[in-house]
Structure 1
Amino acid sequence: MTPPVDCLNNIDELPITNDEKRSIYKQWARSENSGPYPDECRDLTCGAKTRAGTPCKQKAIYSNGRCKFHGGLSTGPRTAEGKAKSAANGFKKIP
C-alpha cells in the first residue's frame, strides 16, 4: 500500500526529534547574541533517564537543558580543600 500523495509532499515538515531540538537549543544557549527562544525548542523536554528508565517529560528546563529535578544544583564541596573553604565561609565569630 502506498502512502497518500499529501504525505509525500509534506516530507520536509516531519517533526524533529528531541535530540535535534536539544542540539538547536545548545547552539542557541551558547551564542553570545542568542536572540529570541527558537520556536523548534518550545516543546523540548528534559529527557533525562528517570529511575523507572523512561525519559523525563518535564518541559520547564534550565539553561543546561535539564529540569529542576535532573539539572541539579550544587551537591556541595567534594575535596578536603573545598570542605575547609566551605566551613570557613560559614563560621562567624561571636564577640
Structure 2
Amino acid sequence: MTMNKHIGTSFDDFLAEDGLLEEATAIAVKRVIAWQIEQAMQATGTNKSTLAKRMQTSRTVVDRMLDATDTGLTLDTMTRAASALGFRVKVELIDG
C-alpha cells in the first residue's frame, strides 16, 4: 500500500510543493480585488465605459482589471479605479 505524501499537510503546503502557491495566491487576491471593484461600481451606479472615462483610460483596461484571472493589475490602475469610484485602496502585508 502506498502512502499519499499529501495526507496530513495543508492545501498551501501541497501548492508550495508543486510550485503553485504564489500563482494561486495572486489569482485569489485578484479575484477579491475584481469583486470589490465590481461591488463599488454597482454601489455607485457606474458602468465600465463611465469608469474608463473617469480613469482616463480605455474600456479594455477596465475589462482586464475586472478579469479575475489577469493578475497583471498595477497599483496605479487599482488606485485610479478606486478614486474614480470614490474609494481608496489599502494594501497591507501580513505575516506569512
State TM-score, norm by structure 2: 0.22
Q: Max radius of gyration: which structure?
A: 1
Q: Comparing both chains, which one has the higher relative contact order based on Cα–Cα distances under 8 Å and sequence gaps of 6 or more?
A: 2
Could you say which structure has the higher helix fraction?
2
State TM-score, norm by structure 1: 0.23
